[in-house]
Amino acid sequence: MSAWAPKRFWTATDVAEVPGGFAVTLDGRHVKTPAKAPLVVPSRALAEAIAREWQAQDEKIDPATMPVTRGANAAIDKVRSQHAEVAALIADYGGTDLLCYRAEAPRELVARQSAHWDPLLDWAEAALGARLAVTQGVVPVAQPEAALAALSARVAAMDEWQLAALHDLVGLTGSLVLGLAVAEGRLTADEAWTIAQIDETWQAEQWGADDEAAAHAERKRAALLDAERFWRMRHAL
């Protein structure tokens, strides 16, 4: 038996300016989050993107095709009420940042990591006030408290919309530095994905690509692009 899915019940979608931001309407009725909170977003760009997702639904609603709506729901229903916890969860990535853990061999991989990762750690020091330590292998390296404090403060200062996007930018790359680099415009999400996948790309070059792993990676890359788009629309007029 196929899983039940909610059916489309509306004809037209629209965007309405309301107190606190912009809402999406379905035949004049305001969309609500799964927790029944008003779905009000801070920019018209976000609202219009959500409206397009709802308008694009066929007979049955497929949440998998609605990344902006899902991001807005997460910001309102989850991050808003757990801001400190979510910010701390994201900031914790600074203590185990992908860019700080380097291969010991082969020499070509070590050089590739250094060429792409060192400039970003330099950027984090200059732009974020956080100089992170680098090690070889997987044994944890203690990071300077001042660096972690600077990163934590940067994340904690973000609102729920920014945190909802940054959560995916960081979690999908495994790097707080990469996530912040995308948020700050230092990198595009595509560039960040390529940099985060240096080890996996190297392995594929040596042993060949695995179709299942490649498909999984492509889904993650698409989600990263969605998170970048959500971040940018949060700041759009």
181 within domain boundaries:
yes
Residue 193 lies in a domain: yes
Shared domain check, 19 and 111: no
Are 56 and 146 in the same domain? no
Asked if residue 73 is part of any domain, the answer here is no
Burial of 93 (0-12, 13-18, 19+ CB in 10 A): buried
Both 53 and 143 in one domain: the answer is no
From its phi and psi, is residue 84 left (phi > 0), alpha (psi between -120 and 50) or beta? alpha
Instruction: Please give the distance of CA 48 from its chain centroid, rounded to a whole number.
Output: 20
Amino acid residing at 178: L
Task: Quickly state the pLDDT bin for 4 (edges 50, 70, 90).
Answer: very low
Residue 3 has pLDDT above 80, yes or no: no
Q: What percent of the chain has pLDDT over 70?
A: 97
Number of domains observed in the structure of the chain: 2
Asked whether residue 42 is domain-assigned, the answer is: yes
Domain with 87, as residue range(s), is 82-235
Would you say 61 and 6 are in contact if contact means Cβ atoms under 8 Å apart? Answer: yes
User: What confidence score (pLDDT) does residue 89 get?
Assistant: 98
User: Would you say residue 3 lies in a domain?
Assistant: no
Q: Is there a single domain that holds both residue 111 and residue 223?
A: yes
Structure tokens at 153: 């403060």
CA distance 88 to 152: 7
* Spatial distance between the Cα atoms of 129 and 146, rounded to a whole number of angstroms: 9
Straight-line distance from the first to the last Cα atom of the chain, in angstroms, rounded to the nearest whole number: 46
> What is d(CA 197, CA 172) in angstroms, rounded to the nearest whole number?
11
Q: Does residue 142 share a domain with residue 57?
A: no
Asked if residue 146 has pLDDT above 60, the reply is: yes
d(CA 10, CA 48): 17
Q: What is the CATH number of the domain that holds 51?
A: 3.30.2180.10
Above 50 in pLDDT, residue 1? no
CATH code, domain with 165: 1.10.3580.10
Task: State yes or no: pLDDT of 193 exceeds 80.
Answer: yes
* Residue 160 resides in a domain: yes
Q: Which is nearest to 164 in space by CA: 86, 111, 100?
A: 86
208 and 94: one domain?
yes
In a domain, 70, yes or no: no
Residue 76 is classified by DSSP as I
Same domain for 114 and 35: no
Q: Of 36, 65, 94, which residue constitutes the final position of a domain?
A: 65
Question: What pLDDT is stored for residue 237 in this prediction?
Answer: 57
How much is the average pLDDT of 194-206? 96
Mean pLDDT of 184-196: 98
Distance of alpha carbon 176 from alpha carbon 150, whole angstroms = 12
Three-state DSSP class for residue 112: helix
Is there a single domain that holds both residue 166 and residue 216?
Answer: yes
pLDDT in tens, 48-71: 999 999 999 988 889 999 999 999
pLDDT at residue number 138? 87
CA-nearest of 52, 10, 56 to 30 is 10
What is d(CA 92, CA 15) in angstroms, rounded to the nearest whole number? 37
The residue type at 72: A
Q: Are residues 208 and 169 in the same domain?
A: yes
Asked if 208 and 99 sit in the same domain, the reply is yes
